[in-house]
Amino acid sequence: MSASDPTPAGGANPLAEGPADPEHDPTAAYALERGYVESLTARLVATSGETVQVFSPLNGAPLAHVPQSSETDVAEAFARARRAQAAWAQTSLDHRAAMLLRLHDLVLDRQEEIIDLIVWESGKARKHAFDEPLHIALTARYYGRTAHQHLDTKRKLGIVPGLTRVEVNQVPKGVVGIISPWNYPFTMALCDGLPALLAGNAVVAKPDAQTMLSALLAAQLLEEAGFPKDLWQVVAGAGSEVGPQIIGRADYICFTGSTATGKLVARGCADRLIGASLELGGKNPLLVLRDADLEKAAEGAVRASFSNAGQLCVSMERLFVADQVYDRFVERFVARTEAMTLGATLDWGNDMGSLISEAQLRTVTAHVDDAVAKGARVLAGGRARPDLGPYFYEPTILEGVTPDMTCFGNETFGPVVSLYRFHDEADAVSRANEGDYGLNGSIYSQDGARARAIARHVKCGTVNINEAFGATFASVDSPMGGMRQSGQGRRQGSEGVLRYTESQSVATQRLIRFAPMLGMSDETYGKVMTANLRLMKKLGRA
C-alpha cells in the first residue's frame, strides 16, 4: 500500500493553508501530541530531509510528518545492525529469553497507549486493536519460555555408533529484513522479529508508510525491555524504493503483503540466494456443514468476515453452506451483521471500524458495484458510510456471486463476503480449493473428528474448526502461513524461529577413519563397510 494522500479526503491541507476551527473540524488540528510523535519518529534512520504527512482514517485528522530514508540511510541502518548483531550473538540464550519475558509484561502494562495509537493510525475498532498487544504478549512469552527447545544444540545419530558424535547447532543468519503491512501495524511490525532476535539476529524493519507510528512504538518498547538500541533499526519510504535496498543487503527477508509484491520480493531474494518467508494474499473459505451449531456458526462468520473491516489476511471472503441449513444460517448471519455497531471512536463498544484509506474504499466499492451490476444480490450492507468517517463501508453479504464477477476469485480485503450453497461435502471442499490461494480455512461442525478429517483436504496452511481464525493464529506453538500463492515459509512455532538460523552439523570422529586401516586394501575396506551396512540394517538402526 502507498502512503496516505497528502490531504484528507475532501479537505485542504491545514498545515499549508492554515487550520480551521478544531472545535468543529477534526482535520484542523493534530490528533496526537507533537512531542510524543517526535519521540517516535526520532527513532527512524532518515536524513533525506523529506517527509510524508499521514492522516487518521477515523476523521482525517493529521497525525504526523514522517521523515523518509535515503539509500544512504538504509545502508547506515544495516551497518549499525551488523555491529550490534556481532555482540548480540555472543549473549546467552537465557539473556535473550529474559528480554522477551520483560517485553511481555511491558506490552500488557502499556496496552492502552498501544491500542490508542493503533486505532488512530488504522481506524479499526478498539476490540480489534486489542488483538495486537495480546498477540505480541503471547508471542514474546512463548519464545521466551521455549527458547532452549528450539535453539539448543541437538545430538544426532553418527555413522558409527559410539565412535561418531554428531551435533547440530542453530547459527543466526545475521541481519533480517522485515517488511510489514498496515493492517495489523503493531503485531506485524513486531511478531516476526521477536524470534529473529531470540535466535541472535539483528533486524532492519520497514513498516508500511500509513502506520509508521505503531511500528516505532514497538521499537521503543523493545529498547525499554532491554534490547540494545541498534539491534532493531527502522527505515521509512516507499516500498518500491526502500524494499529493493533492504533485499539487497539483508541475510534473510520476512515479508507480509500482497501476492504480486511477494513475487517481486522472492525474485530479489533468489538473485542473492537468500531465504525468505512470505505471507501473502488469500480468498479464504468457511464451510458450514449440515450438522453445524448455527448460532455459533453465524457468530463466528461475523468475526471471520468483518474483523478489522475485513482487512485481515486470514479473514473469510467465501462462505459455503450446506443446503440442509442454508436458509436458517443465512437468517441468523444477516441478522447478526445488521445488528453490528460501526463507529469512528477510540472507545470500546464498536463492532467494526474504518477501512484504512481512500484506495481501499475504492477497491471495496468497485467489487460490490461490479457484483451487483452483474446480478448479485445484497443481503446486508452494500454501501459506503461517509457520515461515520471518510473510509467507512458497511459490512456486506452478497448472494449469487458468479465467476465473471471481480470479487469471485480476487481478494477484496474489505468487509465483503459471498455466500454459496452446497449439497455434497466433497464438492464444497473442491470449490473451497478453487483458485490459487491457500492461506486460511474454517469448518463448522459438531462432529470434530469428521471436521478434522475434512480439513486435511482443504488446501490452506491453517484450518480452524468451529472458529474463524483465532484458534490457529493465537496458538503460537503451531506454524502459520500459506500454501500455493498465499506464500511460503511459516511464522510461529519452531519453524518461526528456525527460519532465521542456519543449521550447522559438527561431527567428531574417534578411533577409526573412513579409509583403509591396518594395511587393508581398498577392496577389503569396501567389503568391511558393506558388511557393516548390512549389520546396521539387521539391528534396526536408521
The H-or-E segment that residue 99 falls in is: helix 93-109
518/16: higher pLDDT: 518
Neighbours of 31 (CB within 10 A): 20
User: What are the φ/ψ torsions at residue 188 (nearest 5 degrees)?
Assistant: -70, -25
- What is the per-residue pLDDT for 211? 97
pLDDT at 14 over 50: no
Tell me what the pLDDT averaged over the chain comes to: 94
Q: What is the 8-class DSSP label of residue 162?
A: T
Band of residue 24 on the pLDDT scale cut at 50, 70, 90: low
pTM of the model: 0.92
CA dihedral sign of residues 383, 385, 391, 394: negative
- What is the per-residue pLDDT for 139? 98
Band of residue 427 on the pLDDT scale cut at 50, 70, 90: very high
| Catalytic-labelled residue, pool 121, 132, 279, 394 | 279
State mean pLDDT over 370-398: 98
CB 61 within 8 A of CB 29: yes
Q: How far apart are CA 112 and CA 115, in angstroms?
A: 5
Band of residue 68 on the pLDDT scale cut at 50, 70, 90: very high
**Edge-to-edge strand list for the sheet holding 202-206:** 232-234, 202-206, 175-179, 252-256, 275-279, 487-488
The residues, any chain, with a CB within 8 Å of residue 243's CB and separated by 6 or more, are: 179, 206, 261, 264, 265
pLDDT at 19 over 60: no
| Catalytic-labelled residue, pool 191, 254, 313, 460 | 313
Model confidence pLDDT, tens digit, residues 451-492: 999 999 999 999 999 999 999 999 999 999 999 999 999 999
Band of residue 22 on the pLDDT scale cut at 50, 70, 90: low
Percent with pLDDT over 90 in the chain: 94
Band of residue 29 on the pLDDT scale cut at 50, 70, 90: confident
Model confidence pLDDT, tens digit, residues 70-119: 999 999 999 999 999 999 999 999 999 999 999 999 999 999 999 999 99
**Which grid cell sits at 183?**
493492517
Model confidence pLDDT, tens digit, residues 195-244: 999 999 999 999 999 999 999 999 999 999 999 999 999 999 999 999 99
Model confidence pLDDT, tens digit, residues 377-387: 999 999 999 99
Neighbours of 61 (CB within 10 A): 20
Of the candidates 386, 345, 414, 392, the one whose C-alpha atom is nearest the C-alpha of residue 11 is 386
Q: Is 279 a catalytic residue?
A: yes
> What is the per-residue burial (b if ≥16 Cβ within 10 Å, else e) of 227-266?
bbebbbbbbbbebeebbebbbbbbbbbbbbbbbebbebbb
State mean pLDDT over 293-299: 98
